[in-house]
Amino acid sequence: MMVSVDVFFVVAGQTSATLLGRYYYHQGGSSKWISTFVQTAGFPILFLALLCFPKSSGGGGASGDAPVAKVAVIYVVLGLVIAADDMMYASGLKYLPVSTYSLICASQLAFNVVFSYVLNSQKLTGLIFNAVILLTLSDALLGVNHDETEDMSGMPRGKYLMGFLLTLGASGTYSLILSLMQLTFENVIKKHTYTAVLNMQIYTALVATVASMVGLFASGEWRMMTEEMDTFRSGQFSYFMTLVWTAVSWQITSVGVVGLVFEVSSLFSNVISTVSLPIVPLFAVLIFHDTMDGIKIIAMLIAAWGFVSYLMQHFIDDKKARKSSLSCEETS
């Protein structure tokens, strides 16, 4: 039941957050730092979830027996990497149609395989290798599927390519973050409790929020907020609610992500994050009138094939683990 709830949070939260993020730009918003800020600014909501899991029920606090200073350094480093990742995602969403952006994000599974193999000793199988090839092919199709004319809203080819590369980089960084979190739990914190997972999410989000605020003020984009509210096509109230619900949606996603990390693994959490990929482009076509040509449809089908291959490997591993556990119980 908990896994089902977490899966719903990830799919619903990520879908709504992506669409709201694009809606912000579509209605006249232009600040990449504001878009970056709202991706982590809703972290205080997670304190409510933290209250439901006191230290005594989780078997330890955020850091267990690990040195506080060491854990703090890890939180700061991860938070800064998350801030950079959010900035790349925000920039990619600004320069790309939502449908293209969502499909490129599927590459996080391919990156996840590489980082998990190097950092988390994840074994490579035929199905996983097949998923990597298919997802890479899907991204390659999208990368070359842009003619010499301008894209949506007069977006030139150079901006499209920049958005493609930034989104691709953000997907790789996101996979690195999850692998580093898993590595931290296994080698530093050593207590995989819900309290520890929530604390990691809260404090890394705090660092990322502070970093994005520094960027917002250093870039001078904070001066644009009043002008943005006045020129926002759907009105000032809509501008405010768009930012608020974008922040809430990202935190709903975070609750689901950390829940899946706790209940299953960071790898499975990353897999479920891609479930919304076929959903977002469909809404993008209806809401933002994104074009869905033959190449995009083929790329979507290839990405879905890669996702199914990856999921099938998890199913096989889980089946083997259940058999092994049952065999051990019968022996004892």
SS3 state at 255: helix
Q: 197-239 pLDDT, tens per residue?
A: 788 889 999 999 999 999 999 988 888 888 888 889 989 999 9
Average pLDDT over residues 48-72: 65
Show me where the domains of the chain are located. Answer: 1-48+67-146+156-322
Higher pLDDT among residues 244 and 146, named by residue: 244
Residue 221, CA distances (Å) to 20, 95, 147 in order: 20, 18, 32
Q: Does residue 51 register a pLDDT over 70? A: yes
How large is the average pLDDT for residues 300-327?
79
Share of the chain above pLDDT 90, in %: 21
In the predicted model, what is the mean pLDDT of residues 298-316?
Answer: 79
With a cut of 90, say whether residue 244 has pLDDT above it: yes
Does the pLDDT at position 3 exceed 70? yes
Cβ proximity of 138 and 310 under 8 Å: no
Dihedral class, residue 270 (left if φ above 0, else alpha if ψ from -120 to 50, else beta) = alpha
How far is Cα of residue 267 from the mean position of the Cα atoms in its chain? 12
**Separation between Cα atoms, residue 260 and residue 6, nearest integer Å:** 6
* Residue pointed to by tokens 């979190």: 181
Of the pLDDT bands very low, low, confident and very high (cuts 50, 70, 90), residue 65 is low
Whole-angstrom CA distances from 284 to 42, 96, 194 are: 24, 12, 34
Q: Give percent helix, percent strand, percent coil of the chain, each to the nearest 5.
A: 80, 0, 20
Which SS3 state, helix, strand or coil, does residue 314 take? helix
Cα separation, 17 vs 235, in Å, equals 20
Give the total residue count for the chain: 332
Q: How confident is the model at residue 82 (pLDDT cuts 50, 70, 90)?
A: very high
Q: Per-residue confidence at 61, pLDDT binned at 50, 70, 90?
A: very low
Q: Which two tokens stand for residue 315?
A: 């199913």
- Provide the whole-model pTM: 0.79
| Structure tokens given for 148 | 């010499």
pLDDT at 143: 61
* pLDDT the model gives residue 239: 92
Sign of CA dihedral 113, 119, 123, 124: positive
